[in-house]
Copies of this chain bind each other. A is one copy, B any other.
Amino acid sequence: MKLSKQTDYAFRTLIYLGHLPEGELATIQHICDFYRISSNHISKVVMQLVRLGYVDAVRGKGGGIRLSYPAEQIALVEIVRHFETTLQPINCSEQPCRIIRGCKLKGLLEGAIQAFLSALTGYSLADILDGETQKILFMEG
């Protein structure tokens, strides 16, 4: 039962940016170095976050990226919805399942996914930022 790598990296990027000291910018390289994730993966996720309006890219020398909104306004469930390529826990149409027409499992799993999303609804990025993480991010080098 897994979220995609894209969602995982989007969360890690937002958590990094959410802990940035006021007025500072990060670079993709900072984030990759910190999490030890290839810059190829993080670049794609950052581009998508910029396109979706969650992240601002400041160009030029000394440029970088930062959150576009206060963390309180970034709903975690929306990040899942934007970055998951599917919200079907079983892909019935990938190698078309022959019982798809009558299958009642599909509806049950859809209900379970709704329960998963409902449990995240109401939480924002601000709810997962804290001093302990900030210490790890910016004080332990």
Contact = CB atoms under 8 A, between A and B. Distances in A.
A17 interface: no
Interface residues of A, number: 55
A103 B84 contact: no
B101 A112 contact: no
Given A97-B35, A108-B76, A119-B112, A102 B133 contact: yes
Interface string A78-108: 0010001011111100010111011111001
A36 interface: yes
A139 to B, nearest CB: 12
A95 B135 contact: no
A133 B35 contact: no
